Amino acid sequence: MKISFIQPSRNNLKYLKWSYNSIRKNQGNHEVEICVADDASTDGTWEWCQEMMNKDSHFKAILNDTGKRLGHTILYDRLINEVATKDIAMIYHADMYLCPEALNAIEKYIQKGVIVSLTRIEPPLHPDGPEKILQDFGVEPEEFNEDGLFAFLQSTDSEREIKTTEGIFAPWAFYRSDFQEIGGHDPLYAPQSKEDSDIFNRFQLNGVKFIQTWEGCVYHMTCRGSRRNTVDKAKNIYEDSPEWLAQNMRSTRNFIRKWGSMVAHDKFMKPVIPPKYDIGIEIKNSNTNIVEALEIWCSYIKVDNDMSSYLHKEQKNTIIDLEERVGEKELQNDIIVSLDALKITKQDYVYIQQLPLIVQDSGEVGEFELGNLHITINKIEDRVKELVHINPKAGIEVG
């Protein structure tokens, strides 16, 4: 198998070297092209990349020399579209150790229209889950217990060999043509966070199938790209950095704006995609607090007071034009929710967040009251498949 590893990196050279060595040690007879993007690092990453390009003919790298972080949402796509040359590629993190036989497991299942995820073995830095294996073989490269990992893999080989599930998460291998068919990652989430949940939804809507092989594994130290990278603003490996937390909040709000719902998946991390309806909200006695809370849950929000302060504050957090979402236009939406801001309760907020499922369950055109909400259903049309494709020119131009 010929495969391109896709690895953006920002100030995590220690992990990148550790990851590189594991790939070259355990790639077997596969031809592995390693594609790295240095995202304006200050820790010597680019100097190391230049050195490796001179030493390793299957190592390629590009540099973001703007001094400003682009993030992996953008750099994944640049590497896939501009640098990678193999038909198969894999999104891969610098804090991952490639286990022996992992690429054999990918080759066993990969085909066009199928994405294959390797199973992650992780130290107990996050809660356990049925989609991963919680075992501690070290939380830093200098303390990594490689012998212990190999012994564990050997002792569990027979039970893992026959197991597959349908989750999707990094590292995930795919045909580049499947990725390019839907336009890659959505720049709405740049620099990072929720871009993976978005593209997984879109793959599934486009008919792509997911296989998680438990036969092939990586050891994953977790979150060292930026979220808990102590070289890049994180206090320690146990706390999320303030920068990551702020961006995660922005990306979460943008995900809801786009999909009309929160990220959802089953216990094995296979996406669960609620319907997406055209919802308009009309607010009497509107104020900035209620608009901030509700704007992300609808297509358009009609207000009766000036919301320029909210638009000014929030517009910097999204590439979506908020003036197209907030204003005084008469509502023409398929579903209209009318409410009085002076009467709204916490339960009413919950109803609005659950409205797609409520409408899906009702299946009827008409009007009804729900708490303090007056809901008019003019038409029930699930528009979720309109979200499958990304136009690259809406964000960064790709090759």
Q: What is the pLDDT of residues 192-227, one digit of tens each?
A: 999 999 999 999 999 999 999 999 999 999 876 666
- Looking at residue 245, its pLDDT comes to 81
CA dihedral 264, 217, 3, 19 (to 10 degrees): 100
User: Rounded mean pLDDT of 45-50?
Assistant: 98
pLDDT greater than 80 at residue 287: yes
CA separation for the pair 172, 106 (Å, rounded): 9
CA separation for the pair 393, 383 (Å, rounded): 22
By the 10 Å C-beta count (0-12 exposed, 13-18 middle, 19+ buried), 371 is classed as middle
pLDDT greater than 50 at residue 90: yes
- Looking at residue 242, its pLDDT comes to 80
pLDDT greater than 50 at residue 395: no
pLDDT greater than 80 at residue 53: yes
What is the amino acid identity at position 253? R
Token code pair at residue 96: 């991952």
- Looking at residue 244, its pLDDT comes to 74
132-135 CB contacts, 8 Å cutoff, 24+ apart: 133/217
Query: Quick check: bond before 392 cis, omega within 30?
Result: no
CA separation for the pair 99, 9 (Å, rounded): 21
pLDDT greater than 50 at residue 336: yes
pLDDT greater than 90 at residue 360: yes
CA separation for the pair 221, 243 (Å, rounded): 20
- Looking at residue 17, its pLDDT comes to 97
By the 10 Å C-beta count (0-12 exposed, 13-18 middle, 19+ buried), 107 is classed as middle
| Residue the block writes with tokens 């993007």 | 37
All CATH 3.90.550.10 domain ranges in the chain, comma separated: 2-269
- Looking at residue 98, its pLDDT comes to 98
CA separation for the pair 9, 38 (Å, rounded): 5
pLDDT greater than 50 at residue 399: no
- Alpha carbons within 13 angstroms on the beta-carbon side of residue 197 total 22
Using pLDDT thresholds of 50, 70 and 90, give the confidence band for residue 391: low
User: Rounded mean pLDDT of 68-90?
Assistant: 96
CA separation for the pair 94, 313 (Å, rounded): 35
pLDDT greater than 60 at residue 398: no
Token code pair at residue 309: 């302060």
CB 201 within 8 A of CB 88: no
By percentage, how much of the chain surpasses pLDDT 90? 87
What is the 8-class DSSP label of residue 331? P
Using pLDDT thresholds of 50, 70 and 90, give the confidence band for residue 369: very high
C-alpha distances (whole Å) from 284 to each of 120, 172, 312, 355, 369 are: 50, 47, 21, 19, 16
Q: What is the pTM of this model?
A: 0.94
pLDDT greater than 70 at residue 233: no
Residue 159, number of CB atoms within 10 A of its CB: 9
pLDDT greater than 60 at residue 273: yes
Is residue 132 helix, strand or coil? coil
CA separation for the pair 111, 175 (Å, rounded): 7
| CATH code, 2-269 | 3.90.550.10
Across-strand partners of 219?
97, 121
CB 316 within 8 A of CB 259: no
CA separation for the pair 225, 126 (Å, rounded): 16
pLDDT greater than 80 at residue 345: yes
